[in-house]
Structure 1
Amino acid sequence: MYAFHEEFPQQDGLRYLNHAAVSPWPKRSAEAVRRFAEANVASGARDYPDWLKLERSLRERLARLLNAPSTGDIALVKNTSEALSFVAFGLDWRPGDQVIISDEEFPSNRVVWLALAPLGVQVLEVDLRGDDPEGALLAAIGPRTRLLSISAVQYASGLRLDLPRLGQGCRQRDVLLCVDAIQQLGALPFDVQACDCDFAMADGHKWLLGPEGLGVFYCRSALRAQLKLHEYGWHMLEHAGDYDRQDWQPARSARRFECGSPNMLGAFALEASLSLLEEVGMDEVARALHERVAELLGGIAALPGATLHSPLDSARRAGILTFSLAGWDNQALHQRLRLDGVICAQRGAGVRLSPHFYTSARVIHDTLALLGRLAKG
């Protein structure tokens, strides 16, 4: 593991615990972008065929990461919000149709469904605070429910849901399942076939350790043609590259969701970042991340006046730990931590810490020592 730690030579005094927001790049990603930029300066797009090979490699890595049946199920998109919009405004809604979400969703997975109100679509928000959040979500499904859209891991509380159970329940009820996987993909293994979802999406800039502006959209092959397209261009055509062809049709693959020129700069960075995750292995990433979150949880739980707002059950956790301290306003606590080099976020009921697999023991220990001093006043 030591060699992988060397991929993140962060400055002295920095304690980066904010991977649920925006992650640092590994060195190899910065190097890939540097080489790409220098090649552009020296020879422009002379080697564009090689760039396309790298883009194919990125699709293959993403297909493996999601365990998608085929690279044809993978679209490269700008972000999670764009992919969610492809689903929300692609389905053929009827007045009275219902969408079920939770009451803890990030705006991306809430506003896009509320925006369907002019079409007569109703949004039901389900409380996840009980002992059986999956049961509550499935119990909310009624005869008018068309789709359940849920985050694999809730961004503020860090609650991790049993996706295979939700997938099975939705299939039994003939309801579509859409998974916002941004807080799980790259942190824990994620399998679109095991959870039997119809759609899944995530950005590259959180647990995938890549840049902003490039994400992934998985669409079950049987549903691709059912999503009405709203963006058109040369790249989304079945015969892309045949510029003189007069007849046209959207690509049969998920490339139909990619209307124009690709984000090649982002592709070079994200492909390199994914190569690191593959070398480590997602099982090892998950094990190391679990260790770090457990250490933070144990240390914070022992602090006087500390309240944990994230699940204590390890099966319900991914990489997010949210807490508050008695006598501290959350905003003030967040600002104080940042002043002392702890990069974190204020979310939900408290301050959110989110390490990754490579986070050093020193970062964990220093952060807990600082919190211990703050808890004592």
Structure 2
Amino acid sequence: MSLAKSLNASFLIFSRAFYAMGRAGVMPPALAQLWGEAAVPRVAIIVSFVCLVVGLCLPSNLVFLFLASNIPTILKYLTVCLCGVKVSKWRPDVLAAARMRLGGTSVLALSLLGAATALGLFVLGYETDWRPYALIGVWGDRYALLGLPFEARRDRLIVPDDLPHRGWHRPEPTVRNAFGRHFRLHGVWLDSAYQHPMSLESIQAIQDYLACRTNAAVASHAKREQDRVQSLFARLVNVRVNEIAFVPTATTAENLIVSALGIKAGSRIVTDDLHYTGSLYMYRQLRMAGVEVDVVRARQGVVHLEDVRAALARGATLLAVSWISAWNGHRHDLAALSALAHDRGARVYVDLMQGVGALPIDLDASGVDFAATSSYKWLMADLGLGFLYVRGSALPELTATQFGARQLATSDGASRDWRTRPGTAGKFEVGSVSNIVVAALTSSLEFLTSVDLDAIVAARQPILEHIRLEAARLGLKQAGCASHGPIVAFHCADCSSVKAALQQAGCYVTCSEHRIRFAPTLFNTADDVDAVMRVLHKALGQLTGRSS
């Protein structure tokens, strides 16, 4: 009975490990296949159970069993010690961030001592009985006997012989760039326009904030951090800090601006069909309430300035656009758009979501009157907090329509001093903000305001060009045209099947609305693109086979 219970528990544990390794690509992908509505990893379960049953045929000698079960643990301990050596010599940032802070010399000494001990035990065990070592060598998944054939097969799969076009180009393998070590990535992430991974530094900042939530001084600390984050964002977009307010989301900010402008039945708004979907829904509802809404249509994925000019010719209160379109990456010339709108007496609202943090921007010089963004895309933080910008000269035209304590100059909860704060916050901040997102932003905005964004843009361009080249060789037609933004999209007839294949392979891009959207960020390399293109080649080939 005891043996049966142990086998039952072990195969359930090992099956999950097999499934994870199959999904990660270090073991055959069949192990990652799921069955039924319950998504059961049936192959992984069967394989692990068979292996455990075979294990019953192993020698019953206690020394043999002891070594077979403990040698992997010794090898893992040795690996950890070697990592400690590397950290002590080349990663002072990791040492500085550790909760138990030891000097580099101490870490190096302890790591070398641990590695020597592990090697000593390893050698002593081998002299006692060599058979467990042979067993583990055969079992090894990557560099031992069973692993080598699969590794060879994986290498052949990197550039399959049946790829379309002789000119299929695969660059030389590249080491993940310097930014990659700041992120804990799982799979290939080329979908930062959907949600940008959070850096390890931002995660640590959140953990530090949560740790201080037991401290009575957390309120004053949080207020200082909020002020700091607003100052950093103002510096990033080159505006005055009193022109910035916290908002829950960019969509909330756009609603607040529309309301503060007094737009009602009979008013006129101009937007375009590459604006954010949630915004277009809002304007659709306003149209049903009697507001005249003119949606400029994109032509071949591009909104042309002359079409916007024609729409504004009949007058408008507001022109609302997305700087970078989430649909296909189309990029507006904000200075030209603002000048055009102001000549027609319209104010300009811009959704910055898909640009700020990925591209340099000077809002003050752009002429834009209002702009907003959330924080979970290219600002590399999380959902629940964003920024609203209102140009100082446009603020007197706006009437606050929502009210709360954060608008007050004194907000200690007891004062009856009803004076409001100056600037944008005095009209648009209402209730509490997410200090967790503030904590993440302290790290990400420090980075974004200190790095050369032009250099990041320049480094991203070859990745985007590589995506365009390989997508064209797969027969995918680009949606729109190159705009030097962070997004490129392609038309795709059956996105659901492609999406399933990509996710099963651990590759992440946006597949919806009959398009595939890529959004590389600072840690992506050409190898990431190749990994996705291999899956697309196979998935699109299967679709072609079914249709024929």
Structure 2 gap segments, 5+ residues each: 1-175, 543-548
Equivalent of residue 4 in structure 1, options 179, 189, 193? 179
2:212 is matched with: 39
- Helix, strand or coil at the partner of 2:312: coil
1:28 is matched with: 201
2:348 is matched with: 177
Spell out the pairing of 1:194-273 with structure 2 (5 A cutoff): 194-241=365-412, 243-246=414-417, 248-256=418-426, 257-273=428-444
Distance (Å, rounded) in 2 between the aligned partners of 1:103 and 1:324: 17
- Helix, strand or coil at the partner of 2:405: coil
1:103 Cα deviation (Å)? 1.6
Asked if 1:349 is matched to 2:514, the reply is: yes
1:132 Cα deviation (Å)? 6.1
Given the two structures, how large is their TM-score scaled by the length of structure 1? 0.90
Q: Conserved in 2, the CA contact under 8 Å of 1:98 and 1:146?
A: yes
2:189 is matched with: 16
1:59 is matched with: 230
Asked if 1:301 is matched to 2:472, the reply is: yes
Spell out the pairing of 1:274-353 with structure 2 (5 A cutoff): 274-303=445-474, 305-311=475-481, 313=482, 316-324=483-491, 329-353=494-518
Structure with the higher helix share, 1 or 2: 2
| Larger Rg over CA atoms | 2
Taking a change above 3 Å as real, the CA distance of residues 339 and 215 of structure 1, as seen in their structure-2 partners, is: same
Equivalent of residue 73 in structure 1, options 223, 235, 243? 243
**Equivalent position amino acid for 1:323 in 2:** F
- Helix, strand or coil at the partner of 1:128: coil
1:289 Cα deviation (Å)? 2.4
1:137 is matched with: 308
Distance (Å, rounded) in 1 between the aligned partners of 2:391 and 2:331: 23
Q: Conserved in 2, the CA contact under 8 Å of 1:73 and 1:254?
A: yes
Distance (Å, rounded) in 1 between the aligned partners of 2:518 and 2:360: 20
Distance (Å, rounded) in 1 between the aligned partners of 2:403 and 2:451: 38
2:3 is matched with: none
Distance (Å, rounded) in 2 between the aligned partners of 1:95 and 1:38: 50
Q: Conserved in 1, the CA contact under 8 Å of 2:501 and 2:535?
A: no
- The range that moved more, 107-116 or 190-199, is 107-116
Q: Conserved in 2, the CA contact under 8 Å of 1:310 and 1:320?
A: no
1:278 Cα deviation (Å)? 2.5
**Equivalent position amino acid for 1:347 in 2:** S
Task: Give the aligned CA root-mean-square deviation in angstroms.
Answer: 2.1
Distance (Å, rounded) in 1 between the aligned partners of 2:263 and 2:450: 43
Identity of aligned residues (%): 24
- The range that moved more, 196-205 or 228-237, is 228-237
Spell out the pairing of 1:354-373 with structure 2 (5 A cutoff): 354-373=519-538
Asked if 1:123 is matched to 2:293, the reply is: yes
Q: Conserved in 2, the CA contact under 8 Å of 1:109 and 1:180?
A: no
1:309 Cα deviation (Å)? 1.4
1:167 is matched with: 338
1:105 Cα deviation (Å)? 2.3
**Equivalent position amino acid for 1:51 in 2:** A
Q: Conserved in 1, the CA contact under 8 Å of 2:315 and 2:344?
A: no
- Helix, strand or coil at the partner of 2:416: coil
1:2 Cα deviation (Å)? 4.4
1:148 Cα deviation (Å)? 0.6
Distance (Å, rounded) in 2 between the aligned partners of 1:120 and 1:376: 49
Q: Conserved in 2, the CA contact under 8 Å of 1:288 and 1:358?
A: no
1:83 is matched with: 253
1:234 Cα deviation (Å)? 1.4
Distance (Å, rounded) in 1 between the aligned partners of 2:310 and 2:532: 41
Taking a change above 3 Å as real, the CA distance of residues 60 and 308 of structure 1, as seen in their structure-2 partners, is: same
Structure 1 gap segments, 5+ residues each: none
Distance (Å, rounded) in 2 between the aligned partners of 1:120 and 1:250: 33
**Equivalent position amino acid for 1:28 in 2:** E
Q: Conserved in 1, the CA contact under 8 Å of 2:272 and 2:303?
A: no
1:104 is matched with: 274
Distance (Å, rounded) in 1 between the aligned partners of 2:478 and 2:178: 33
Q: Conserved in 2, the CA contact under 8 Å of 1:20 and 1:207?
A: yes
- Helix, strand or coil at the partner of 1:373: helix
1:262 Cα deviation (Å)? 2.4
- Helix, strand or coil at the partner of 1:183: coil
Per-residue CA deviations over 1:156-189 (Å, capped at 9, x if unaligned) read 1211111111011112222111101111111111
- Helix, strand or coil at the partner of 2:394: helix
Spell out the pairing of 1:148-163 with structure 2 (5 A cutoff): 148-163=319-334
**Equivalent position amino acid for 2:421 in 1:** A
Q: Conserved in 2, the CA contact under 8 Å of 1:201 and 1:215?
A: yes
